[in-house]
């Protein structure tokens, strides 16, 4: 009965998640949540074309160079849903030489990127629909890539950032000086909290991207569940922040079997149990920092006493 129900919804909308038995959750994810492989290929080609164009053409009449462009967000981490997913393209120009100059230079960099994106849109052929947002914002530039044939799309935010990490290598851990400068800015009279998380996009992406495929599928399922609940729950604080879902799911897997293949229903239930008591949890990882440096240690000890699920690095300032 339930299998037939899911089949009837395959070409339209998914059957309600609460009607799907545990043994069919993998099928539910495959049919309704995983992006189409054809669209993913088209998306990757379009993103590569855009990134190459920006690197070659941005600031070409000046001495400013683009060090690198990093894709983050759910598309970059490999946890994108079939529809309504987001991604970041973080551009690291040589003109941004510090955290503070990221704020000062942001508007001029965004204006240049907009100019080049519009040129790219005119000059290049894309297998997907490429639309640049007409809304103006001082901190971000947005565009979307949509399939002409499939009901799938990804919304991108383009953000300039300070290249504090340089060229990342496997196992790289930032210097303590990076974090002590951030902590100093956090404690300043006019703190710019959350302003510089884009500088650490590669660390955020790699923390999730390196996980097994099935774990990333479980993250997709949890995010889908979250979107359904978010529409119905009106009490603020009844659900954790959206970013914490990936971390809670990874934590549940690490505390469990750590197997590449596991029972999706058991994993899903474990994550939901964590969600119900997220305000009592204190979860953190030290893969990108340590408690050895005194300033960092004191800051982290203060942060982890707060009722929240922290990032795997202290860049929340």
pLDDT of 281 reads: 87
Checking if the pLDDT of 317 tops 70, the result is no
Give the whole-angstrom CA distance, residue 307 versus residue 299.
15
- Does the pLDDT of residue 21 top 60, yes or no? yes
Please compute Rg for the chain using Cα positions. 21
Residue bearing the bigger pLDDT, 139 or 133: 133
Closest by CA position to 203, among listed 106, 317, 77: 77
pLDDT for residue 308 is more than 70: no
302's tokens? 């203060």
State yes or no: pLDDT of 239 exceeds 50: yes
Residue 247: HSE in the Cβ half-sphere, 13 Å Cα cutoff? 18
Report phi then psi at 131, rounded to 5.
-120, 125
- Comparing 115-124, 129-138, 159-168, 263-272, the range with the smallest average pLDDT is 129-138
In this prediction, residue 237 has a pLDDT band, given cuts at 50, 70 and 90, of low
Three-state SS at 129: strand
Residue 279: pLDDT over 90? no
Question: In this model, does residue 187 exceed pLDDT 50?
Answer: yes
What homologous superfamily is domain 37-163 in, according to CATH?
Beta Polymerase, domain 2 (3.30.460.10)
pLDDT higher than threshold 70 for residue 2: no
Q: What is the pLDDT of residue 224?
A: 94
- pLDDT for position 88: 93
pLDDT at 311: 54
Residue 316, pLDDT above cutoff 80: no
Compute the average pLDDT of residues 283-291: 91
The answer on pLDDT for 200 being more than 70 is: yes
Domain boundaries, the chain: 2-33, 37-163, 167-317
More confident residue, 246 or 232: 246
> pLDDT of 47-94, one tens digit each?
999 999 999 999 988 999 999 999 999 999 999 998 878 899 999 999
Does residue 8 carry a pLDDT above 50? no
Does residue 4 have a pLDDT over 50?
A: no
Name which of 7-16, 98-107, 178-187 the model is least confident about.
Answer: 7-16
Using CA atoms, how far apart are residues 117 and 112, in angstroms rounded to an integer? 9
Q: How confident is the model at residue 102 (pLDDT cuts 50, 70, 90)?
A: very high
| Lowest model confidence (mean pLDDT) among 26-30, 122-126, 194-198, 302-306 | 302-306
Q: What is the mean pLDDT of the chain?
A: 87
Under DSSP, the state recorded for 16 is P
- 8 A C-beta contact, residue 283 and residue 309: yes
Q: In percent, how much of the chain has pLDDT > 90?
A: 66
Which CATH code for domain 167-317? Answer: 1.10.1410.20
User: What residues contact residue 201 under an 8 Å CB cut-off, 6+ apart?
Assistant: 70, 72, 76, 88, 90, 161
pLDDT at position 99 over 50:
yes
Kindly give, in sequence order, each residue whose CB lies less than 8 Å from that of residue 301, ignoring residues fewer than 6 positions away: 291
pLDDT-derived band of residue 14, with 50, 70 and 90 as boundaries? Answer: low
């Amino acid at each position: 009965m339930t299998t037939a129900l899911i089949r009837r919804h395959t070409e339209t909308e998914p059957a309600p998640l609460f009607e799907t038995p545990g043994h069919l959750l993998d099928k539910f994810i495959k049919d309704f949540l995983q992006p189409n492989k054809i669209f993913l290929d088209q998306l990757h080609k379009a993103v590569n074309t855009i990134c190459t164009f920006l690197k070659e053409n941005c600031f070409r009449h000046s001495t400013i160079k683009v060090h690198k462009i990093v894709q983050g967000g759910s598309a970059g981490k490999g946890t994108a849903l079939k529809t309504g997913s987001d991604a970041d393209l973080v551009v690291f120009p040589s003109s941004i030489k510090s955290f503070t100059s990221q704020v000062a230079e942001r508007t001029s960099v965004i204006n240049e990127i907009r100019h080049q994106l519009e040129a790219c849109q005119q000059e290049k052929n894309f297998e997907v629909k490429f639309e640049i947002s007409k809304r103006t914002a001082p901190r971000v530039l947005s565009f979307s890539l949509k399939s002409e044939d499939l009901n799938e799309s990804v919304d991108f935010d383009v953000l300039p950032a300070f290249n504090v990490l340089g060229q990342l290598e496997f196992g790289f851990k930032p210097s303590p000086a990076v974090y002590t400068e951030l902590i100093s800015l956090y404690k300043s009279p006019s703190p710019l909290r959350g302003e510089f998380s884009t500088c650490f996009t590669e660390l955020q992406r790699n923390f999730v991207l390196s996980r097994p495929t099935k774990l990333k599928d479980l993250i997709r399922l949890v995010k889908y569940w979250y979107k359904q609940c978010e529409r119905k729950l009106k009490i603020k604080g009844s659900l954790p922040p959206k970013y914490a879902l990936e971390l809670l799911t990874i934590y549940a897997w690490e505390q469990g079997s750590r197997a590449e293949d596991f029972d999706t229903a058991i994993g899903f239930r474990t994550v939901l149990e964590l969600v119900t008591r997220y305000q009592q949890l204190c979860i953190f990882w030290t893969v990108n920092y340590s408690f050895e440096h005194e300033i960092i240690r004191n800051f982290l000890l203060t942060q982890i006493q707060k009722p929240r699920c922290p990032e795997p690095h202290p860049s929340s300032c």
